[in-house]
Homo-oligomer: A and B are copies of this chain.
């Protein structure tokens, strides 16, 4: 408790420092189901970088682990704390500091909700494009810390491609500015993008300068059913030539789960592809012709926005439909797009072998797949099998030239897989880079690396 008293004194009376265990418990974890966590000894609802600086100076001197969080919507346990930790939440730092429409940039505090920036940009004919599924509640700081992806990233790139500059508070308390507000700059080492995806282990991102892009036209949406995931995945690779702004795949298991909840409006097939084109809608017909070469069962498209919402509903409902069936473990791996079919076959075999429901869907155009393991709530034996299957899915991806995480991060649930992809020397370099920025190792210890 002395840490709490001393920290409170260091921060001063204006700081919102919470130690009520009913509240701290709600700040102890993100949405990853099986990562360990415990309520932190305190939660700081930070108001500004200076407050965070004070907290970090104190934590660094006293070797207190610090876990940073935005909305806590992460899926890898990256924001999970233990009892010794101080959690710093940036949710109150939620101001859009400036929106410079002519230069197509915005400066925001890290706690701004993703969709709020996009909404503000929309008034100027602009968009903040990265669209993680959590965009209506996740924060831009959290998106940057995890290098979040999303559906339109197949065309527009993931979060890192949209970050120009950062304000960061270092573990030692210095507040630094990295990067340039200009569209191009090669004046310094690219430390900005080293911080993106570093999951709170190198510093605390407090402000971001982000790209806004010309708002794409409303898309045309195409849905196509195939007899198998193999065929749908093969079609997806070819459909990339139309430069889709969305290219998603859903397998039969997931289709059945959705159908059991909300009528699909079409017959359950082996697999479904969903595609959006935001430039040349007239290519939809050509795209359907392409699909015919891969045993297309049925396909429709529309450039009516209301129809579009209807057509992509099956993808939006994929995860919640699986969640209705029991406890879920949502995996996240990325593969060469040409390996998706083989990956799916192996995961389907794993499903049979382990007697677990595994629904497979994901960002086909990026090769980023989200197999989701379902088991009965409270069935601990099945839960253990699910955890093992979760690991096997990562290993299957890696065996096919894929990677342990495409967009959710390593957090506290995937560190064991990283060594399969990097040499001991690269692992050592990561630790040295970490030490350069965080000499006492207080920032999110045990996460990412």
Give how many A residues have a beta carbon under 8 Å from the other chain's beta carbons.
79
Instruction: Tell me whether A189 and B182 are in contact in the complex, defined as CB-CB below 8 angstroms, given that A237-B102, A243-B214 are known contacts.
Output: no
A window 396-449: CB within 8 A of B = 401-410, 414, 417-418, 421-423, 425-426, 429-430, 432-434, 436-437, 448-449
Which residues in B have their C-beta under 8 angstroms from that of A363? 184
Instruction: Tell me whether A190 and B197 are in contact in the complex, defined as CB-CB below 8 angstroms, given that A103-B338, A279-B280 are known contacts.
Output: yes
> Is A187 a contact partner of B403 (Cβ separation < 8 A)?
yes
> Is B180 a contact partner of A403 (Cβ separation < 8 A)?
yes
> Is A423 a contact partner of B189 (Cβ separation < 8 A)?
no
**Is A337 in the interface zone, CB < 8 Å from B?**
yes
**Best-surrounded residue of A178, A241, A336, A414 (most CB of chain B within 10 A):** A336
**Is A69 in the interface zone, CB < 8 Å from B?**
no
Task: Report which of B184, B193, B237 forms a contact with A367, defined as CB distance below 8 A.
Answer: B184
Which residues in B have their C-beta under 8 angstroms from that of A423? 176-177
Rounded to whole angstroms, the CA-CA distance of A138 and B94 in the bound complex is 45
**Is A146 in the interface zone, CB < 8 Å from B?**
yes
> Is B194 a contact partner of A190 (Cβ separation < 8 A)?
yes
Instruction: Tell me whether A149 and B184 are in contact in the complex, defined as CB-CB below 8 angstroms, given that A279-B279, A429-B436, A436-B436 are known contacts.
Output: yes
**Which residue of B has the minimal Cβ distance to A423?**
B176
Which residues in B have their C-beta under 8 angstroms from that of A414? 187
**Is A293 in the interface zone, CB < 8 Å from B?**
no
> Is A184 a contact partner of B153 (Cβ separation < 8 A)?
yes
**Is A81 in the interface zone, CB < 8 Å from B?**
no
Rounded to whole angstroms, the CA-CA distance of A103 and B410 in the bound complex is 24
Q: Can you list 27 A-B contacts (CB < 8 A)?
A: A102-B237, A103-B337, A149-B184, A157-B161, A160-B193, A176-B423, A176-B425, A180-B334, A182-B402, A183-B367, A183-B368, A184-B334, A184-B403, A184-B407, A185-B334, A186-B405, A187-B410, A187-B414, A187-B418, A187-B421, A188-B421, A188-B426, A189-B430, A189-B448, A191-B194, A214-B243, A436-B436
**Is A250 in the interface zone, CB < 8 Å from B?**
no
Which residues in B have their C-beta under 8 angstroms from that of A102? 237, 337-338
Binding site for B on A (CB under 8 A): 100, 102-104, 125, 146-147, 149, 153, 157-158, 160-161, 170, 174, 176-178, 180-191, 193-194, 196-198, 202, 214, 237, 240-241, 243, 279-280, 334-338, 363, 366-368, 401-410, 414, 417-418, 421-423, 425-426, 429-430, 432-434, 436-437, 448-449
> Is A190 a contact partner of B184 (Cβ separation < 8 A)?
no
